Amino acid sequence: MKVTETYLKDCFVIEPQIFGDNRGSFLLEYNKKEFAEKTGFTGDFVLGNQSTSQYGTIRGLHLQRGEYSQAKLVRVVKGKILDVAVDARKDSETFGKVFSIELSAENNKQLLVPRGFLHGFSVLEDDSIVSYKCDNYYQPEAEDGVLYNDEELSINWKIPLKDVVLSEKDAKLKTFKEFV
C-alpha cells in the first residue's frame, strides 16, 4: 500500500495495491500491522458504517467529542465523493485547516481521518456507497459538528448550491467560530 501524509498532521491518503487478471481484481483494504508501520495509527477499528447517497448530498461536518472521539478510515465502494477533513484539534499546528480529496470506486483511495477532526463528504455521483471504519463507538451525546458552508472554512464541495441536499440536523449545525 502507498501511504501519503496530507498537509494536515496525522491525516493520510491510503492507496492500496490492486491485483488484476482476466477474472477481475483484488485489493487488500486493510492490514493493521502495515497500516501502523506506515501511518503510526495503532488504534483498533471497532465499528463499520456504510451509507448510500444521491448526487448533491452533503453529510457533515461531524465529529465525536472527548473520550468518544473517533478516527475514521473512509473508502468508496461505488460512485464518487469529495471527502473533507478539518483539523479541529486546538493544540495542532494545522488547526482550522481543511483537506479534501476525491475518493471513488475507480481510484480506490482511502482517507484516514484522525481523532479530533471534523469529517464530511459531498456526493458527486448518484447511488454512491461510502464505507468507513471507526476506532470508537458512536455516542449521541458526544456528537457535534459545523455547517458545511461555514465562511471561515470556505470549503468548495464541488456541488452547485441549487443541488445541495442536507439533512435537517446538518442544516442546523454551528459555525466553526461557535464550535471552537
Query: Per residue in 106-147, pLDDT tens?
Result: 999 999 999 999 999 999 999 999 999 999 999 999 999 999
User: Are 17 and 28 in contact, with CB atoms under 8 Å apart?
Assistant: yes
Catalytic residue check, 62: yes
Pull the grid cell for residue 20.
488484476
- Torsion from C-alpha of 92, 94, 95, 101, nearest 10 degrees: -130
Catalytic residue check, 119: no
pTM, 2 dp: 0.94
Pull the grid cell for residue 17.
495495491
Q: Which residue out of 132, 137, 138, 148 is catalytically annotated?
A: 132
Summarize pLDDT for 22-35 with one digit per residue, the tens.
Answer: 999 998 999 999 99
The DSSP code for 106 is T
Domain 2-179: state its class. mainly beta
The residue-averaged pLDDT of 85-101 equals: 97
Between CA 36 and CA 31 the distance in angstroms is 9
User: Are 104 and 147 in contact, with CB atoms under 8 Å apart?
Assistant: no
Summarize pLDDT for 36-72 with one digit per residue, the tens.
Answer: 999 999 999 999 999 999 999 999 999 999 999 999 9
The DSSP secondary structure of 5-48, one letter per residue, reads: E-SSTT-EEEE--EEEETTEEEE----HHHHHHHH-------EE
Q: Which residue out of 7, 30, 55, 62 is catalytically annotated?
A: 62
Pull the grid cell for residue 166.
442536507
